[in-house]
Amino acid sequence: MALKKKDARNKRPNPISFRMSEQAKKSLEVLAKVMNMTQVEVIEALLAEGYQKAKKSYPEDMKKAEKSSRLSSEK
């Protein structure tokens, strides 16, 4: 897993709340300690990695979803 720490200049706090299982919480805590990152940085890195993988595997679907996402956020 190629987790990379985000550049501090690019951080824009956008509060979000969600629930996760106890196992997922423990896994996140362990990953954060091992990678010497905050839990938020781990989640952001995993999302970025998953996004890139999906973009390679499903390019047409991703283009449609990105376009749809942009349109809904502009309203």
> Hey, what are 31's tokens?
């990953």
Q: pTM for this structure?
A: 0.69
Residue showing tokens 């896994």: 27
Q: What percent of the chain has pLDDT over 70?
A: 77
| Cα–Cα distance list, 62 to 6, 13, 48, 59, 71 (Å) | 23, 25, 14, 5, 14
Sign of torsion over alpha carbons 24, 70, 65, 57? negative
> pLDDT tens, 56-68?
999 999 999 998 8
Residue 31 has pLDDT above 80, yes or no: yes
Structural domain boundaries in the chain: 21-74
